[in-house]
Amino acid sequence: MREMTSWEARFLYTIVFLPVFGRSLFPMVRDKESITFQSSFTDPQIMGIYMLMAYCLYCLVRQPGSLRYAFTSPLWPLTVFTVVAFASAILISRAPMYSLWRSAETSVVLLWAALVFSHLKREQGPMKLFVAYYAMSAIMLVAVVVAVAIDPQHSWIHEQHKVDRIETSSVFMMAANTIGVMAALLALATLSRFILLAKVRFLALSLVTLAICYGARSRTGFVVFVLGLLVLTGFLLQMPRRRVIAGIVGGLAGVLIVGLLLVSPEFTDSVTHTFTRGHSEANIRSLDGRVPLWTEGLKAFDQYPILGAGYGTYPVRLIGRGHFHNMFLELAVTTGVLGLLPILILFGIIGTRLGRLLLRNHTYDGAISQSIELLDALLIATVVIISQMTTAAAAYYSWQMIGIVVLAVGLFVIPDTHVIKESDTTYTPPVVATQSTSTLQSYRSSEVQKHPIIL
């Protein structure tokens, strides 16, 4: 069967963002109570789903064997969850058509993931997939900047205490929390590349995305950025050639920040005001009203504990909140224990795999490209998964859900053993006694092409 060309592979990696762009560029017109098949053709996000589904089915016809990856690690929990989502939509939901569309969106993500997994198994590395995820995220942030320039009046939330936040409500619709978290991930990814590759352009990109993160004033964005910095520092401390520099820079930065907090009340007040957005202490203790909402969610879960209230629907009316601001509580309420359990298993599989890779590499200073792959996986896990504690975006088709699937697939295509080390000038395959010199040279050449060292 004909292999995918480079252009076809890039298209496969990026088409998954089409529905996200549809939702962001145009207001959603779906009505939970009255959505029909005919009305779905006026919803930009659902039209994007139709196009993505058509392309995935086309690829599956050409490569039917790819579907088997949906039933293997790490994707089988997502397959189980999709089945539960459809079951809750049909058997429980008070708005079954809406729940069915939500379930269809998740099933399309699953098909896409199986196709990408199949292709990357032959590539022996997730770098192209990670870069595609970053590229599409960067395009979305560029669109946010364009929206601010075109329509600044509707691109900022004017909160009390003279705090403004980027949240585009026209031209390119994105919430402040999504903008902040997305910008935090890109700031960390570009900063890590600046440190490992020593290219100034990555530092410039990191500063730009960090400025966008600050402009969004997303507390979740700030938290995951700080956690990402700790992960990045810890990773660098495990690399012998960068351990000293990372230790010195991290120590000086820590001393500087702690010193300013202790001796400068103005700096402390500025940090506090930025992080809390000027809200009262009571608001902070309740996590911006999330704690009462979570309590309400636990009560709602008691009503439908097995299959939930229907994927994407609630047994109670949430005034002014839209969702439960916690992925796990959101899934517990809408899909019950049967829907929550496979997602927890998926996260467990991701965590186990990531831990194994770290334990295997914790003293390794190998090829830079392989170090970047592992660091990308760490940063995506830190930002996308941790942010779901105070958001629920990854419970449905979104940038965050795509990130979790990208992480899961990427982790399982990272080779179990490194082939090339920076200190190696040659590579000896496991069995060479019976190989001719020409065959051995050909083998080495293919391995170098497969695992290039980025200088």
> 21-52 pLDDT, tens per residue?
887 777 666 666 677 778 778 777 788 899 99
Q: What is the pLDDT of residue 292?
A: 76
Q: What is the pLDDT of residues 236-263, one digit of tens each?
A: 888 777 777 777 766 776 676 666 566 6
Q: Is the pLDDT of residue 193 over 60?
A: yes
d(CA 125, CA 96): 40
Per-residue three-class SS string for the chain:
CCCCCHHHHHHHHHHHHHHHHHHHHCCCCCCCCCCCCCHHHHCHHHHHHHHHHHHHHHHHHHCHHHHHHHHCCCCHHHHHHHHHHHHHHHHCCCCHHHHHHHHHHHHHHHHHHHHHHHHHHHHCCCHHHHHHHHHHHHHHHHHHHHHHHHCHHHCEEEEHHHEEEECCCCCCCCCHHHHHHHHHHHHHHHHHHHHHHCCHHHHHHHHHHHHHHHHHCCHHHHHHHHHHHHHHHHHHHCCCCCHHHHHHHHHHHHHHHHHHHHHCHHHHHHHHHHHHCCCCHHHHHCCCCHHHHHHHHHHHHHHCCCCCCCCCCCCCCCCCCCCCCCHHHHHHHHHHHHHHHHHHHHHHHHHHHHHHHHHHHCCCCECHHHHHHHHHHHHHHHHHHHHHHCCCHHHCCCHHHHHHHHHHHHHCCCCCCCCCECCCCCCCCCCCCCCCHHHHHHHHHHHHHHCCCCC
- Output the pLDDT for position 453: 34
Inter-axis angle of helices 96-123 and 127-150, nearest 10: 130
Greater confidence (315 vs 156) lies with 315
**What are φ and ψ of residue 158, in 5° steps?**
-100, 95
* Whole-number Cα distances in Å, 416 to 235, 269, 276, 353, 412: 18, 48, 43, 10, 9
Bond prior to 96 in cis (omega within 30° of 0): no
**Rounded to an integer, what distance in angstroms lies between the CA atom of residue 121 and that of residue 286?**
45
pLDDT for the residue 359 = 80
Could you report the per-residue pLDDT of 381-405, keeping only the tens digit for each? 999 999 998 888 899 999 999 999 9
User: Average of pLDDT values for 413-436?
Assistant: 47
Q: Domain coordinates of the chain in residue numbers?
A: 72-110+125-411, 429-455
Query: What is the percent of the chain where pLDDT is above 70?
Result: 73
Query: φ and ψ at 159, to 5 degrees?
Result: -85, 175
Q: How high is the pLDDT of residue 12? A: 93
Calculate the average pLDDT of the chain. Answer: 80
Q: Please, how many CA atoms are within 13 Å of residue 301, restricted to the half-sphere of its CB? A: 19
Query: Encoding tokens for residue 387?
Result: 């942010």
- What digits encode the pLDDT tens for the residues 138-170? 999 998 888 888 877 766 666 655 556 676 665
* Least confident residue range of 129-143, 289-303, 341-355: 289-303
Q: 67-109: per-residue pLDDT in tens?
A: 999 999 999 999 999 999 999 999 999 889 889 999 999 999 9
329-338: pLDDT as tens digits: 999 999 999 9
State the pLDDT at residue 417.
54
Q: Which residue has the higher pLDDT, 424 or 182?
A: 182
What pTM does this model have?
A: 0.83
Query: Does residue 96 or residue 275 have the better pLDDT?
Result: 96
Q: Backbone phi, then psi, for 366, in 5-degree steps?
A: -95, -155
